[in-house]
Amino acid sequence: MFLKNKNKLQSRIDTLISTDTRIEGNVIFSGGLRVDGQIKGDVSEVPGTPSTLVLSEHGSIEGAVTVARIVLNGEVRGPVHSTHDLELLAKSRISGDVHYKSLEIHTGAIIEGRLVYVGESANAETPAILEVKD
């Protein structure tokens, strides 16, 4: 009767990687993860458990990111795969291809790579090097 819906996106933060923390290795999580520090390795959610990743302006990830909902304001060096929505805030920078279903880009965000739409018509592909300015 009180079953938790495993396919519902999490809006709370369960785990924090603080500013002075550096992780070398892959990170697999569920729920919400906020990264203020550095990760050298791939970051992904537990399969079948849509999760949320928040990367602050002080945070960085060097590796592939595969998460349902992603909010970026830091730097990612590697491909980004979002199966639900991706929000790029003003100080975000991605060096790698971006695969998205829903994309919001704020002024100042930088993407060095291809933008690949993976929504209902997954064949649409738009190569781009994009810099959003005022």
pLDDT digits (tens, 9 = 90+) for 41-64: 999 999 999 999 999 999 999 999
Q: Where on the phi/psi map is residue 73: left (φ > 0), alpha (ψ -120 to 50), or beta?
A: alpha
Burial class (CB in 10 A: 0-12, 13-18, 19+), 122: exposed
Q: Which residues contact 78 (CB under 8 A, 6 or more apart)?
A: 42, 61, 62, 63, 64, 65, 95, 96
In this prediction, residue 8 has a pLDDT band, given cuts at 50, 70 and 90, of: low
Planar angle of CA 29, 66, 47, nearest 5 degrees: 55
Annotate 47-71 with three-state secondary structure: CCCCCEEEECCCCEEECCEEEEEEE
In this prediction, residue 11 has a pLDDT band, given cuts at 50, 70 and 90, of: low
d(CA 67, CA 85): 9
| Total residues belonging to the chain | 134
What percentage of the chain exceeds 90 in pLDDT?
78
In this prediction, residue 96 has a pLDDT band, given cuts at 50, 70 and 90, of: very high
Structure tokens at 41: 């390795």
Residue linked to tokens 């819906």: 5
Tell me if residue 76 falls in helix, strand or coil.
strand
Structure tokens at 52: 């949320």
